[in-house]
Structure 1
């Protein structure tokens, strides 16, 4: 048991170290005066509005979670209580990546008497749908800003020359794909009992079973509407804060969508609160959109900083509220 905790501690320290290093590398050349000037020149009415939209998003996510908690076990979970548990989870995620998902389930287990295994199952369903939505949003961004996508790809590799090479070597390409598919099939069959293969198969089975479970809910329409609404809210959060900062006020809605996609990918990285990875990807796409490097990095710092302060403040309040609630006692134990 001691070795397990030591291993987890080392993983946390490494992920935090990587996050801090990326953040330092990005901002080491930016003078503090530049950041202060940008903050002072920003329209904080828009930024506060952005924060209010974020809070709405947390309540929508909480409502969606209650739709999944369809069990006679324990006490019925209200949206308010789900919100407080959710914010505690986000607070824990700021310290230990991904641990917040278990933490929020543990909070409801203590206060509402619902088994943690059941609650973790609902979180897996949530994350499966969130992944599906993220892929859908990336495809939407590609369709809206197709030219910019192709320009970015061309910076990495010449698409035209790649296409010509593929066509001129079509038989080799088809043969190579066939060999690759056979190799994948062989590996899956030969090493089907290997831990990594089992984990991958288990991951996809969980996503499929989670999607099937949604159809059995009492309010499946509400679940899908809230899931889509969350991404609309994420977009509006970034869109309004862009209005509040002079350097990004003229970005189009399609360009903001691209920035949101890059930021979402940065938040998926296994580091505390997306520190560093969020800033790097958001700043990168803004530079491609014609924003100066300094302004792009400062924009990323402002939007991420306001969200971090919101999570810290709301998370601590929710933690205090939930800790004051008594632990759930089964009726037969009274």
Structure 2
């Protein structure tokens, strides 16, 4: 009963949060700004939108291909069709409950390739660790490239005294967490330690993998395709076409963070893009329009590929058998 309630809440809360953000955006935009957004959609060069979708397909392909290396390492030879289609379905499922796609991906692999669920899920967890590390590299790059701009913005909004206070509190919280981690025997700490050991084991399996360099190459390629998908879209609007690459990286990073707040970034993604772009002189309406262009096109692609893959899986596996 508790598990079903948690499932419902994990679906409803992000959804309502996303709808609330959309309502907030709509009510804070003037009629002129709303009209400007409509014009942006009408005059956008959709050739660049289609190009971004094509680049996204390379990301899907690379993620599925990378998966084969870790599965092969465990002794499982899977059909690439099933790897690719289950990846597409997982992206679709993630639009409902964040991160639930990983479970569906492992379950579908068990159904169509007979790979044990725990083994398949373990490879996916290892992937997520690598993806997180690479994303943190992008975060670091963005902050290095735009340190002066971000520092000036933070100082303008927050006083130096408050910044120092936040730093001090952060250090104290960090020290407190380390002490709890070492000495506390609470159930939640023990569970976290068990999960961490599992994650470390997953990372070690990548290090021991025969094809680890191919795995690492595809890991970088996946994130490169994500960034390029975002980058080419700036040319769809004349107001964003002249943006420098470092600004694009900032938008990409904060947009990626926003995706985790609601169902697939519903509402949160365009808001984050508009806020970041506003720091660089791009009006709120143009930033919002750009965010919705990227989010809508990518979400429609995810829905199309996910539904098509779900329908194709049983059909193609009849032929395989």
Say yes or no: TM over 0.5. yes
The answer to whether residue 82 in structure 2 is matched with residue 81 in structure 1 is yes
Change in Cα spacing, 1:180 to 1:93, as seen in structure 2 (3 Å) is: closer
Matches for 1:111-190 after TM superposition, within 5 Å: 111-159=112-160, 183-190=176-183
Shift of 1:3: 4.0
**Greater Cα shift, 186-195 or 89-98:** 186-195
Matches for 1:225-304 after TM superposition, within 5 Å: 225-269=217-261, 271-304=262-295
Contact 2:10 2:97 in 1 (8 A): no
Separation of aligned partners in 1, 2:289 and 2:82: 35
Separation of aligned partners in 1, 2:37 and 2:174: 51
Change in Cα spacing, 1:182 to 1:225, as seen in structure 2 (3 Å) is: closer
Separation of aligned partners in 2, 1:117 and 1:16: 29
Matches for 1:205-224 after TM superposition, within 5 Å: 205-224=197-216
The equivalent of 1:5 in structure 2 is 4
Matches for 1:57-68 after TM superposition, within 5 Å: 57-68=59-70
Matches for 1:36-47 after TM superposition, within 5 Å: 36-47=38-49
Shift of 1:13: 1.3
Shift of 1:208: 2.4
User: Matched residue of 1:215: which SS?
Assistant: helix
Larger radius of gyration: 1
The equivalent of 1:320 in structure 2 is 311
Q: In angstroms, what is the RMSD of aligned CA positions?
A: 2.6
Separation of aligned partners in 2, 1:79 and 1:155: 52
Change in Cα spacing, 1:183 to 1:52, as seen in structure 2 (3 Å) is: closer
Shift of 1:210: 2.2
The equivalent of 1:191 in structure 2 is 184
What are the superposed Cα offsets for residues 111-167 of structure 1, whole Å, 9 maximum, x if unpaired? 1110111011011101101111111111111222222222232233345x679x79x
Separation of aligned partners in 2, 1:162 and 1:36: 40
Shift of 1:299: 0.7
Contact 2:259 2:265 in 1 (8 A): yes
Contact 1:239 1:256 in 2 (8 A): yes
Unaligned stretches of 5+ in structure 2?
none
Shift of 1:88: 0.5
Contact 1:141 1:257 in 2 (8 A): yes
Unaligned stretches of 5+ in structure 1?
167-172
Shift of 1:215: 1.3
TM-score by length of 1: 0.86
Give the alignment partner of residue 306 of structure 1, picking from 281, 297, 303: 297
Separation of aligned partners in 2, 1:152 and 1:219: 44
Separation of aligned partners in 2, 1:266 and 1:151: 23
Aligned length: 315
Change in Cα spacing, 1:181 to 1:30, as seen in structure 2 (3 Å) is: closer
The equivalent of 1:169 in structure 2 is none
Contact 2:18 2:266 in 1 (8 A): yes
Separation of aligned partners in 2, 1:3 and 1:207: 26
Contact 1:235 1:257 in 2 (8 A): yes
**Greater Cα shift, 200-209 or 302-311:** 200-209
Separation of aligned partners in 1, 2:267 and 2:199: 29
TM-score by length of 2: 0.89
